[in-house]
């Protein structure tokens, strides 16, 4: 049994990898009587952000807060009792934001992105950099490769 202050920090970005990481962290915290700190890093990048729908920094932050709230609600549904889940939206590069949030955490949980041959492509640049900077253990939750997901969804019929 872990101590009652067992704290898991998890990066949430609205992606399938982030979603899977958050669900895993919530279940892990519930299993060990811990808490979850769901963290969303955001940055407004000027004209690049405008093309993605954020007209200014305030809109970018609000969008990140909305995604975080929606993802936390979805991850906690169906878990009874759900562990305490704190939400934090922080401006800055994701690796820095996540490692600072996890400085005194017991565990940092991230979702993977990509499925390339190289470790960088399989892990994702944010995850890779965060792992290098983290002061606590890091768990990377993989996103199933589309080929493997398809194979597992198709029944095998033998004649």
Domain presence at residue 51: yes
Report strand pairing: 85-91 vs 138-141. unpaired
Containing structural domain, residue 69: 7-153
Against a cut of 0.85, is the pTM above it?
no
Residue 158 lies in a domain: no
CA–CA separation, 84 vs 103, rounded Å? 19
What's the CATH number where 119 sits? 3.40.50.620
H or E element in which residue 39 lies: strand 35-42
Position with higher pLDDT, 53 vs 127: 127
* pLDDT at residue 53, as a whole number: 62
**28: nearest Cα among 15, 45, 10, 14:** 10
Per the model's pLDDT, the better-predicted residue between 66 and 56 turns out to be 66
Q: Is the residue at 159 inside a domain?
A: no
CA proximity to 113, closest of 143, 138, 90: 143
* 98 occurs within a structural domain: yes
Any domain includes 17: yes
DSSP notation for 75-88:
HHTT-SSPPPEEEE
Convert the pLDDT of each residue in 16-28 to its tens digit: 999 999 999 999 9
- Region 60-84: mean pLDDT is 94
Q: Is residue 113 part of a domain?
A: yes
Residue 82 lies in a domain: yes
**Is 1 part of a structural domain of the chain?**
no
Residue 107's beta-bridge partner residues? 8
Nearest alpha-carbon partner for 100 in 125, 63, 130: 130
Span 91-147, pLDDT tens digits? 999 999 999 999 999 999 999 875 444 444 445 678 888 888 899 999 999 877 665
Type and span of the H or E element at 129: helix 125-133
In the chain, the number of structural domains is 1
- The whole-number pLDDT of residue 118 equals 42
């Amino acid at each position: 049994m872990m101590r009652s202050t067992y704290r898991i920090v998890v990066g949430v970005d609205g992606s399938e990898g982030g979603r899977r990481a958050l669900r895993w962290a919530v279940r892990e915290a519930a299993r060990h009587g811990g808490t979850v700190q769901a963290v969303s890093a955001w940055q407004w990048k000027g004209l690049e952000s405008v093309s993605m729908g954020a007209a200014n920094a305030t809109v970018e932050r609000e969008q990140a807060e909305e995604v975080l709230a929606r993802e936390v609600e979805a991850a906690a549904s169906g878990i009874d009792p759900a562990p305490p889940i704190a939400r934090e939206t922080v401006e800055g590069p994701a690796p820095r934001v996540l490692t600072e949030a996890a400085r005194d955490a017991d565990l940092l949980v991230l979702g993977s992105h990509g499925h390339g041959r190289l470790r960088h492509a399989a892990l994702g640049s944010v995850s890779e950099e965060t792992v290098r900077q983290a002061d606590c253990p890091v768990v990377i939750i993989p996103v199933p490769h589309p080929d493997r997901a398809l194979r597992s969804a198709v029944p095998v019929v033998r004649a």
